Structure 1
Amino acid sequence: MATVDVDCVLDIRAELGECPVWSEPEQALYWVDIYAGRLNRFDPSTGENRVWTLPEPIGSFALCEGGGVLLALKSGLWRYDLETGTLAALASPESHLPKNRLNDGRCDAQGRFWVGSMEDPVDPARPMGTLYRVGRDFACTSVADGFFVSNGLAFSPDGRTLYHSDSYPAVRTVWAWDLDPDDGAVSNRRVFVDTKGMAGRPDGAAVDADGCYWMAANDGWEIIRFTPLGAIDRRIALPVAKPSMLAFGGPRLDVIYVTSIRPSTGLDDQPQAGSLFAVQAGVTGLPEPLYRLT
């Protein structure tokens, strides 16, 4: 396991920190605290963390071309104006499933938003999650279903491979799909990584400029880098058990920001659980695409 510099850059101790997204123009990191319904903006140059409190849990989001934010709230997709606080409803793909909420999501290079859902809490007897592709007209297309905890969305540098995982303990698998960049169609789903036997389960993820898949290993105290062939390439230890997602940031996209979860017990050896960490791993990431509206 590699020894690198890991710094707690925001000792905030969120209940469920998730979905870090780096804004290159602002040189700032946006992230969420899911159940608190908080969208955050962390400025590494000042240490300031600004908070917008939303009326529902927020699973993920995307920064929009032209400004504003696309929010994946419990009830569906919304457009949010950061200056005025105005919310505009866009789509509600699971209004018929009141126990479900939207979870992990991110944009592909064409500006489409991909987001998965889950029943919360999970019913072990039935996987109720679906993976959706959201077009520029806000239309939600069901891509695949039968997931417990939809997670781990990321894209290869050429935009032709989609990664997606299910974090549920009985599944804990990352899949790869062939992705048609033009129409967003996916095919040839196959197992990329089966984490059974590893300490950590697959949570959020990101792909670096070399095409390697970085996985937040929930319950594993680490982040793991996999080659495009699915082989473990690097493991970086963290001071928290439950890293939840990561994003590349900084002026050169060479800082890995990691969000984390704060469990209700077992905090003696991880007092900063739920906080935001920065990892100097010596690798470069990819710019995060914006959501492109019609």
Structure 2
Amino acid sequence: MAPTVDCVLDARATLGEGIVWDAADRRLWWVDIAAPALHRFDPATGRNETWTMPSAVGCVAPRERGGAVVGLEEGWCAFNPDSGAVEVLNRNAPGEAGMRFNDGCVDPAGRFWAGTMPKAGPANAAAGELGNGLLFRLEADRSSPQMLDGFYTQNGLAFSPDSAVMYLSDSHPAVRTIWAFDFDLESGTPSNRRVFFDTRQVAGRPDGAAMDADGCYWMAGIEGWQVIRITPGGKVDRIIEVPVEKPTCLAFGGPRLDTLYVTCMGAGLITKGSEAKQPQAGGVFALDPGVTGYAPPPCAA
């Protein structure tokens, strides 16, 4: 029997993204890139707190010392939910004007990785040309080295529970590929890049991702109305239909990490004429995936 997918927060976001479980206080951080706004949702009470951000906010992670770290156009920033204060930690990323952060994830050592893309959207992918999106890493000392380049719409960052593999995707229709890298946890270095999964074999393109305790990769299939589980060997293990066209990001949460939460795009970004089929587009959804998840640690910066 297919799991029930429930809307736990009818948020009406325009571009819901970046959902992540904060194990310290058992709440979910998520963003609306287009608003721009940062949210914190408590599944136990249904309360959703919202803070307006000074610029486009691509990603968020719980912070080891409390609060959160967000990727804004100003740079990597610390956010204090008690005061609403935003403090710039490093301005190295997202780099040149016209760029913003997109998807991000904290590795098992507490380093926050995130990619960048043009605010106006990616350019058309020309044969033989690379995109201008970059991948950065925020260290505990707040330095932020550039790690990879050549992306159109960077997405799908995730790290295997055993720290041995880093995953990364590009959502651009001409690319729609997920790669795997060998990952050296001590140095924070990815190597041996290879194709993990070509999403042309499924309905949706790759957007945000989450890992489960078995080391399987869960992909939000944007434009495909689906969430997909892929084994470490790159095989589709499970496809779960969701009631929204454009799921964007995933996070395992709950006290036992046995609930999968999903953000999505809302009005203005879904296909015109499809509104009646997805009246809660822009909300936060939850489902029982039938497995236990993995939650990244907080950011150490």
Query: Which residue pairs with 1:3 in the alignment?
Result: 2
AA in 1 matched with 2:291: V
- Output the CA distance in 2 between the equivalents of 1:175 and 1:116: 14
Alignment pair present for 1:44 and 2:48: no
Alignment pair present for 1:14 and 2:13: yes
**Unmatched segments (≥5 aa) in structure 2:** none
- Output the CA distance in 1 between the equivalents of 2:34 and 2:94: 19
Q: Residues 230-272 of structure 1, C-alpha deviation per residue, up to 9 Å, x if partnerless?
A: 0000000000010001100111100000001014222121111
Check conservation: 2:62, 2:69, Cα contact below 8 A.
yes
Alignment pair present for 1:274 and 2:272: no
Q: Normalised by the size of structure 1, how large is the TM-score?
A: 0.96
Match of 1:170 among 152, 169, 174: 174
**Unmatched segments (≥5 aa) in structure 1:** none
The farther-off stretch of 38-47 and 201-210 is 38-47
Q: Residues 137-180 of structure 1, C-alpha deviation per residue, up to 9 Å, x if partnerless?
A: 12111111010011100011111100000001100000000110
Q: CA deviation at 1:79?
A: 1.3
Match of 2:242 among 238, 244, 261: 238
Check conservation: 2:225, 2:245, Cα contact below 8 A.
yes
Query: Which residue pairs with 1:287 in the alignment?
Result: 295
The farther-off stretch of 98-107 and 205-214 is 98-107
- Output the CA distance in 1 between the equivalents of 2:95 and 2:54: 20
- Output the CA distance in 2 between the equivalents of 1:286 and 1:199: 25
- Output the CA distance in 1 between the equivalents of 2:122 and 2:90: 23
AA in 2 matched with 1:269: K
Query: Which residue pairs with 1:206 in the alignment?
Result: 210
AA in 1 matched with 2:177: T
- Output the CA distance in 1 between the equivalents of 2:182 and 2:95: 30
Check conservation: 1:116, 1:130, Cα contact below 8 A.
yes
Q: Residues 39-71 of structure 1, C-alpha deviation per residue, up to 9 Å, x if partnerless?
A: 111111111111111111100011111112111
- Output the CA distance in 1 between the equivalents of 2:69 and 2:258: 26
Q: CA deviation at 1:94?
A: 4.4
- Output the CA distance in 1 between the equivalents of 2:230 and 2:94: 36
Query: Which residue pairs with 1:119 in the alignment?
Result: 118
The farther-off stretch of 239-248 and 19-28 is 19-28
Q: CA deviation at 1:5?
A: 1.4
Q: How much is the aligned-residue C-alpha RMSD, in angstroms?
A: 1.3
Q: Residues 191-228 of structure 1, C-alpha deviation per residue, up to 9 Å, x if partnerless?
A: 00011242100000011000000000000001000000
SS at match of 2:87: strand
Alignment pair present for 1:152 and 2:156: yes
Query: Which residue pairs with 1:101 in the alignment?
Result: 100
- Output the CA distance in 1 between the equivalents of 2:232 and 2:82: 40
- Output the CA distance in 1 between the equivalents of 2:24 and 2:106: 17
- Output the CA distance in 1 between the equivalents of 2:267 and 2:157: 23
Query: Which residue pairs with 1:77 in the alignment?
Result: 76
Q: Normalised by the size of structure 2, how large is the TM-score?
A: 0.94
- Output the CA distance in 2 between the equivalents of 1:141 and 1:189: 19
AA in 1 matched with 2:260: I
The farther-off stretch of 196-205 and 258-267 is 258-267
Percent of pairs with identical residues:
49
Check conservation: 1:5, 1:281, Cα contact below 8 A.
no
Mapping for residues 19-38 of structure 1, pairs under 5 Å: 19-38=18-37
SS at match of 2:51: strand
AA in 1 matched with 2:12: R
SS at match of 1:58: coil
Check conservation: 1:34, 1:59, Cα contact below 8 A.
yes
Check conservation: 2:73, 2:94, Cα contact below 8 A.
no
SS at match of 1:50: strand
**Equivalences, count:** 292
Q: CA deviation at 1:110?
A: 0.4
Match of 2:251 among 238, 242, 247: 247
Alpha carbons of 1:210 and 1:96: their partners in 2 closer, same or farther (altered >3 Å)?
Answer: closer
